[in-house]
Structure 1
Amino acid sequence: MSETLKNTIPQQAFDWYDEYAHGGMDRRMFIKKLGSLVALGYSMSVLTSALLPNYALAEQVSFNDAAIKATYEIFDSPLGYGKGRGYLVTPTDKTGLLPVVLVVHENRGLNPYVKDVARRLAKAGFIAFAPDALFSLGGYPGNDDEGRAMQATLDRAKIEHDFVAAGKFLKGHPNSNGKLGAVGFCFGGYIVNYLAAVDAELIQAGVPFYGTPAAKELRKNIKAPLMVQLAELDERVNQSWPEYEQDLKTFDVPYQMHMYKNANHGFHNDSTSRYDEANAELAWQRTLAFFTQHLA
């Protein structure tokens, strides 16, 4: 979608999509609200194609790239759903022990965008592992609507345990240097905050993209440095930041926060028109530098 066309879509539509994507309204109501814009002269096909993901746009690193190797790996999760599965991507042009990064998806399972993020990390020299919270239900179903509905049926505590188990699995990889980072988006951003808080020794660096904090009683455990990535137009998540920042200061947690101007929630996801290329690239380069600093 062209930048000009993207800029003609009212911010209201992006806000409705965010509410829909996070369970605040069902699809019928979302489409009905978009219909009110059609009456003002907007095309429904343009609106839906802009707001709903097109994962053909999200492949920056091909799974056939000779510089990486991608496989699916099973791990044990006795406190979660028993077994988990994730997408493991390793660099083929690096030798010796390498830093490892857990990649955590949004609230809809391991979609193609998040798998591509794992490939981007491997291309940059990290071993990356992206678990699928939907594995116990058969895995990501191929579309976000069904994936979102599936994930909503799962027990939140068991999902959290699955990601803790995934982090331990990755940290123990034969080629791991023993330093684990975590990056996540939306729900995944929450999981990064949770991993830092639930076990002070688990991760050595965390980058939550537009994620809410862990439970207040856990925050005293955070030791890992955090790089918090927020979008200026994301009122829902941003309202949790002032209290979270105060706790990070109280517990002397090393952190930095970047607020991306005029960016929507999901601005790093290049499969929808919420994608902001300039801000996404800046945030990504900051992420890679942060992991290099703390994990190498």
Structure 2
Amino acid sequence: MKPLKKEDISQEVFDLYDYYAHNKIDRRQFVEKLSIYAVGGVTVSSLLSFISPDYINTAMVKPNDERLKSEYIEYESPKGGGTIKGLLSKPDEFKGKLPGIVVVHENRGLNPYIEDVGRRAALEGFITLAPDALSPSGGYPGNDDDGRAMQRQRDRNEMLEDFIAAYDYLSNHKDCNGKIGVVGFCFGGWISNMMAVRIPTLGAAVPFYGGQPNTEETAKIKAPLMLQFAELDTRVNAGWPDYETALKANNVEYTAHFYPDVNHGFHNNTTPRYDEKAATLAWERTMAFFKEKLK
């Protein structure tokens, strides 16, 4: 059987994966529904393998890249108890102090994709911190299914406090200039929006396909925003009209980009939802925005 390609997969399969990845259905239901699309010699196992993340062959910046100094650090968890582990990355050779970026994971802990994003941002001239909100439960378990299950056991507002503490950690770091932004994906997009609500001194926020604050929360935002949306992501996009109305009413500086014909998760290059053209453009815009607002 020839290898599957993205164009061989119907939109319904991507929508089904989105429901599964966001805990709308469990794995048994996902596999059961996936079988409907196993036709013409395509098996359920081949579909499942194709749509699942590939963390082995997709890293854009290797963990041992000589241009970077990356190390795991720990800081206190304000609400969750114990410490939070995070990947701290910065250019190996730099002069003076660097602006900082908190990199926030999806709903499954600090997996290799998010670590890679932290390293990518560091190569652009930032000191980055990618925390693992699963640390109080033992940390990212090595696979996304168990990671999602573990993250469901934590209160999302407690996790928000952990990411706010990451901002504080960078603020006090000897190599940081005190100007700090946040970028996050999915759950991390919601965290990015909420950090803008909670931190008056936040330098900039870039939520990728993230849930939105309510009207009262939006009124507290002081940071400039760059909002990245996927056109086919009807679940997240449903909240955009009310959010935009509140942003305008409160004179919040924002730019919103909608990328045509792409799915939720289009920036994540480990799954077939990835769209190289949209992801590259969104990342270029993100880095340019941080360089403008934080330097």
Alpha-carbon distance in 2 for matches of 1:161, 1:248? 23
Would you say the 8 A contact 2:170–2:178 is kept in 1? no
Q: Residue 65 of structure 2 corresponds to which residue in structure 1?
A: 65
User: What is the CA-CA distance between 1:48 and the residue it aligns to?
Assistant: 1.2
Q: Residue 139 of structure 1 corresponds to which residue in structure 2?
A: 139
Structure 2: runs of 5 or more not aligned: none
Alpha-carbon distance in 1 for matches of 2:9, 2:101? 36
Alpha-carbon distance in 2 for matches of 1:180, 1:162? 16
Alpha-carbon distance in 2 for matches of 1:158, 1:4? 41
Alpha-carbon distance in 2 for matches of 1:251, 1:42? 52
Alpha-carbon distance in 1 for matches of 2:162, 2:94? 29
Would you say the 8 A contact 1:90–1:128 is kept in 2? yes
User: What is the CA-CA distance between 1:85 and the residue it aligns to?
Assistant: 1.5
- 1:105-162 CA deviation, whole Å, 9 max, x = no partner? 0000000000000000111111010000000011000000000000000122211111
SS in 2 for 1:57: coil
The residue correspondences of 1:233-272 to structure 2 (distance < 5 A) are 233-272=232-271
Q: Residue 16 of structure 2 corresponds to which residue in structure 1?
A: 16
Alpha-carbon distance in 2 for matches of 1:187, 1:241? 16
Amino acid in the other structure paired with 2:183:
V
The alpha-carbon distance between structure 1 residues 249 and 91, as it changes in their structure 2 partners (threshold 3 A), is same
The residue correspondences of 1:167-186 to structure 2 (distance < 5 A) are 167-186=167-186
Would you say the 8 A contact 1:69–1:91 is kept in 2? yes
The residue correspondences of 1:114-263 to structure 2 (distance < 5 A) are 114-201=114-201, 203-263=202-262
* Structure 1 position 286 matched with structure 2 position 285: yes
Alpha-carbon distance in 1 for matches of 2:68, 2:43? 41
- 1:48-85 CA deviation, whole Å, 9 max, x = no partner? 12211111233000111111011111112333434212
Alpha-carbon distance in 1 for matches of 2:172, 2:82? 18
Q: Name the Cα RMSD after superposition.
A: 1.5
Would you say the 8 A contact 2:214–2:243 is kept in 1? no
SS in 1 for 2:101: strand
SS in 1 for 2:20: helix
Identity %: 50
Alpha-carbon distance in 2 for matches of 1:61, 1:141? 22
User: What is the CA-CA distance between 1:40 and the residue it aligns to?
Assistant: 5.6
Would you say the 8 A contact 1:181–1:204 is kept in 2? yes
Alpha-carbon distance in 1 for matches of 2:240, 2:57? 31
Alpha-carbon distance in 2 for matches of 1:80, 1:198? 18
User: What is the CA-CA distance between 1:166 and the residue it aligns to?
Assistant: 1.0
User: What is the CA-CA distance between 1:268 and the residue it aligns to?
Assistant: 0.3
Q: Which runs of 4+ in 1 moved over 6 A?
A: none
SS in 2 for 1:114: helix
